[in-house]
Amino acid sequence: MKKPKPLRFLVDLNVGKQVEEWLKSQGYDVKSVRDIDPKAEDETILCTAAVEKRIVVTMDKDFGMLVYRFKIPCFGVLLLRLEEATAAEKVQVISRILRLHSRLLPRHFCVFQSGKFRARPLKR
């Protein structure tokens, strides 16, 4: 059986530095919008992630509109609906998602909200 390639992430500003640091500590290849260009437009974030085959981790609901309505290509999106969560809670959620659903993150638009994870395949 072919081993899946390691996941690579592009973490949006609104997710927080603690999540970025935790992902790095777990051995993931992580880039941060904070380090690339804190003023980057969402479209630029999606395109950068697509070119580099990175999954965008964000809390910005606009990414759904960009992917589905405006058909901006992407490699994968994980939208966290955790508006009131602490940094530690976000890390806990990401840890659980990676443990249970990591194979769904590439080529899917994934949403975590109210304790539930759902994934919708991206059209090619």
Q: Write out residues in the chain with pLDDT < 70, as ranges.
A: 1-5, 124
Residue with tokens 């759902």: 118
pLDDT for the residue numbered 4:
60
Helix, strand, coil percent values for the chain (each to nearest 5): 40, 25, 35
> Is-contact 55 106, C-beta < 8 A?
yes
pLDDT at 100: 96
Write down the pLDDT at residue 124: 61
For the beta carbon of residue 60, count every other beta carbon within 10 angstroms: 18
CATH, range 8-121: 3.40.50
pLDDT for 24: 96
Nearest Cα to 82, choosing from 112, 107, 110, 109? 112
Rounded CA-CA distance 100/96 in Å is 6
Full-model pTM:
0.94
